Amino acid sequence: METTFDIDEQKLLHFLASIKVNDACGGHTDFWEWHNETEALKTNLTKIGQIAIQPGEKQWEAPYWGQDAKIRFDCYPYYGCDLYQCQKCHTVFFYYVELGGHGPQKRYRVVRKVLIDLESLTPKHQIIIDYKGMDYIMYKNPDLTYGLLISKTIGVGIDVYHQLSKEEQERYLKDGIESLNDRLKDMDVNYTNYKVTSWR
C-alpha cells in the first residue's frame, strides 16, 4: 500500500516551493482548469496525499471554472481533494470525484501556485507561505500580516526580519517576490535597520 499524507496549507505551500517542475509534459495546460481524467494523465500520476482542511462558511463562494479561478483551500472542492504528482514532470494536481449531475466524474486540476489565494489563509500560528533556498522566507502571521526573512553571515549567522507594509503586501500579492527585490537588497545591506536575531 502506498503511504500518503494529510496536507494542510503550510505543508502544501512548502512542498510547492521545494519541487522543480520540468517541461516534459508541456505544463499539462488542459488541466489548468478542472478537467475529467484521461488515460494518458492517469498512467503518470502518483498519489502523494490528501488535503485536510476545514471547509469555510463561504465554501461555495470561489469561482469554479476557468484557468484563472483562484484556489481557496477552504472552498469547494479544494479542502477535500487528493493530491497527485506527475512522475514525468513533477506537476502537482488536485483530484476529487464530482458526484452531482450525470454520475461520478473524476476531475483533476493543476495546482498553480500563483492562483493560491494567500489572502484567504488565516493561520493559527506563523506559517511559511514561500521560500527559496537560503535566499528568503515569506511568512504569514496570525494577525494576517506578512513577514520577510533573510539569513546572512557576518562572522556569526543572523536572521533579518521585516514585516511588510500594507503597500508592500499589496504589491507582493499582485506581482510576487520580484516586487520586493529592492527590499531584499536593503535588508541585506542595511540589516542593522531591521529586527536581527543571531543564530547563537
Q: Which residues form the interface with Zn ion (CB under 5 A)?
A: 25, 86, 88-89, 91
Closest contact distance (angstroms) between CB of 18 and Zn ion is 17
Closest contact distance (angstroms) between CB of 39 and Zn ion is 14
Closest contact distance (angstroms) between CB of 161 and Zn ion is 37
CB under 8 Å, gap of 24 or more: what pairs does 113-116 form? Answer: 113/13, 113/16, 113/17, 114/176, 115/68, 115/69, 115/70, 115/71, 116/13, 116/70, 116/71, 116/73
Q: Are strands 105-110 and 136-140 parallel, antiparallel or unpaired?
A: unpaired
Report the residue count for the chain.
200
Closest contact distance (angstroms) between CB of 16 and Zn ion is 15
Q: Are strands 5-7 and 45-51 parallel, antiparallel or unpaired?
A: parallel
> With respect to Zn ion, which residue has the nearer C-beta, 20 or 174?
20
d(CA 156, CA 123): 31
> With respect to Zn ion, which residue has the nearer C-beta, 70 or 106?
106
Closest contact distance (angstroms) between CB of 88 and Zn ion is 4
